[in-house]
Amino acid sequence: MSRILIVEDEESIAELEKDYLELSGFEVEIATSGDTGLEMALKGDYDIFILDLMLPGVDGFEICKQIRKEKDTPVLMVSARKDDIDKIRGLGLGADDYITKPFSPSELVARVKAHLSRYKRLVGKDVQKNEVIEIRGLKIDRTARRVFVDGVEKNFTTKEFDLLTFLASNPNRVFTKEELFSNIWDMESLGDIATVTVHIKKIREKIELDTSKPQYIETIWGVGYRFKI
Ligand code: CA
**CATH number, domain containing residue 193:** 1.10.10.10
pLDDT in tens, 61-81: 899 989 988 888 999 999 887
- Mean pLDDT of the 27-48 span: 95
State pLDDT tens for residues 142-177.
Answer: 888 999 999 999 999 999 999 999 999 999 999 999
User: At which of 55, 88, 122 does a domain end?
Assistant: 122
Q: What is the mean pLDDT of the chain?
A: 89
Q: Which of 122, 152, 172 is a domain's end point?
A: 122
Does one domain contain both 87 and 157? no
Distance 45 CA to ligand 1 centre (A): 23
| Centroid of ligand 1 to alpha carbon of 10 (angstroms) | 6
Q: What is the pLDDT of residue 41?
A: 96
Ligand 1 centre to CA of 79 (Å) is 7
Cα 110 to Cα 97: distance, rounded to the nearest angstrom? 12
Share of the chain above pLDDT 90, in %: 66
Nearest alpha-carbon partner for 177 in 156, 163, 189: 163
Half-sphere exposure (Cβ direction) of 164: Cα atoms closer than 13 Å: 33
Query: How many Å apart are CA 15 and CA 187, to the nearest integer?
Result: 60
State how far the Cα of 60 lies from the Cα of 51, in Å rounded to an integer. Answer: 6
Mean pLDDT of 210-229: 94
Structural domain total, the chain: 2
| Ligand 1: centre distance to CA 7 (Å) | 9
Query: Are residues 110 and 165 both part of a single domain?
Result: no
pLDDT at 127 over 60: no
Rounded CA gap, 43 and 149, in Å?
Answer: 25
pLDDT of residue 124: 64
pTM of the predicted protein model: 0.55
Q: Tell me the CA–centroid distance for residue 2 and ligand 1, in Å.
A: 24
Measured CA to CA, the distance from residue 2 to residue 166 in angstroms comes to 31
Q: Provide mean pLDDT across the span 29-41.
A: 96
Expressed as residue numbers, the domain containing 208 is 132-227
